Amino acid sequence: MPILFLVFVLSYMDRVNIGYAKLQFSETLGLTDATYGMGAGIFFMGYLVSGIPSNMLLAKIGARATISRIMVTWGIVSSLMMFISTPMQFYILRFSLGLAEGGLAPGVYLYLTYWFPENRRAKMVAIFLAAVPVAGVLCAPVSGYLLESMRNVGGLYGWQWMFLIEGIPSVIVGVFAYFLVENAPNTANWLAEDEKKVIAAALAADANNKNVSKRRINIKDALTSKTFIVLATIEIIGGVAIAGFAFWLPQIVHDLGVVNLGSNGVITAIPYLSASIGMVVWGYLSDRFKERRWHYAIAASLGAIGLFVACRNTGNVYLAMFGLTLAYTGIMSCVSVFWAYATTYLKSGAAVVGIGVLNAAASLAAYASQYAFGVVSMATKNSLSGLYGIAISLMVGALLVFLLPKNLENA
């Protein structure tokens, strides 16, 4: 888990650092909010294309080679972002970054099913996904510092140094990941033989559960079921919510009056820090009480309330930041519970393909939503306006989750 956590921290930093670069390179490249939204969102089109094939490849060659390949490739592409000089180059490299990284998250969700039984998975998914807000905690001040301190060093803009410096660690860790990641418990030298047997027995108990219906194993039946369609809709909502925060939070905080790049980085770290703690606690409670629906609904509702608070208090930076912090904590908490539910529902071959399909659906929605966010921001001259749509979506998700069966044996 520490290795996977580090991998996703670096992944998310390289994915969302354009939110900070936007504060500096929009003028350099002549980007409008709509153009930026298109570039931010086109990442998810590459993500959509590569997710399912990468998961199928992971099932054949293992996580070791798959994660290493993904990290080295995206690190190189992320560093190449320093050379963009036109909107078209921005689009091409963002698409390429999504293509490189697309298999990581769905691959890890699948990989966790090789290691952890269902009753421990929400906590482990939450620990993995906690890398998202932790990446925000690190990326915010680091990116802000690089934008300010590296401006005009060696004749380059601060944002060019930022892309280069933040991309290199991914390549280095990607090489080490090949030697550190184990494909399965039975190949892990750091596990004793009796520990391997305990893990194998727990996983076998899940696999041999007589209550698991065949339609949760068959790819066609699982992916056309009502339960899967509801899960896909909920994942779309989660994907849109996370992307909205990731790519627009620095601009939102800027529009609240925090215009200094260094201060902006520190302030934007607050919601990420809160979410990194809250989502792990929420995942633990979901596992402890063996309950998913109410945990998702409550977290999604808190996320929506937080967004409404932020949007209604744009003149008060303290209230607005409280709302944004509550919102992001709620969003990340409900997403971690969601993936515990989804990976429990999907079994065998259906899990390999289904997790990729869920990720692809969220990617497509995130692509469209980022362009829409930019258009709305330009039309209203207020970057917070798009948050209303996310808030409403979260409330819909809080209701939709009750269409899922309380007990998966009934799915």
Q: How many CB atoms lie within 10 A of CB 259?
A: 11
According to the model, what pLDDT value does residue 255 have? Answer: 82
The mean pLDDT of 354-372, rounded to a whole number, is: 75
Of 384, 325, 300, which is closest to residue 137 (Cα–Cα)?
325
* Homologous superfamily (CATH) for 2-410: MFS general substrate transporter like domains (1.20.1250.20)
Confidence of residue 77 (pLDDT cuts 50, 70, 90): very high
Domains of the chain, by residue range, sit at 2-410
Res 60: pLDDT:
86
How much is the mean pLDDT over the chain?
A: 83
Is 347 or 255 the better-scoring residue by pLDDT?
255
Mean pLDDT, residues 170-187: 90
What local confidence, expressed as pLDDT, does residue 22 receive? Answer: 81
**Mean pLDDT computed over 309-337:** 89
Q: Residue 404: which region, alpha, beta or left (left: phi > 0; alpha: psi -120 to 50)?
A: beta
Residue 222 pLDDT > 80, yes or no?
no
Name, in order, each residue with C-beta under 8 angstroms of 170's C-beta and a sequence gap of 6 or more.
Answer: 10, 11, 14, 71, 72, 74, 75, 78
Q: Which residues of 30-49 are buried (b: 16+ CB within 10 A; e: fewer)?
A: ebebbbbbbbbbbbbbbbbb
Is 407 strand, coil or helix? coil
Q: With contact defined as beta carbons under 8 Å apart, do 77 and 26 qualify?
A: no
Residue 293 near residue 397, CB atoms below 8 Å: no
The position carrying tokens 């200094």 is 260
Whose CA is closest to 373, among 242, 231, 230, 260? 242
pLDDT for the residue numbered 403: 92
Task: Give ∠ CA 232-69-350 in degrees, rounded to 5.
Answer: 30
Residues 6+ apart with CB under 8 A from 405: 227, 411
- Where does the pLDDT of residue 211 fall: very low under 50, low under 70, confident under 90, or very high at 90 and above? low
Closest CA to 14 of 113, 122, 97: 97
pLDDT surpassing 70 at residue 215: no
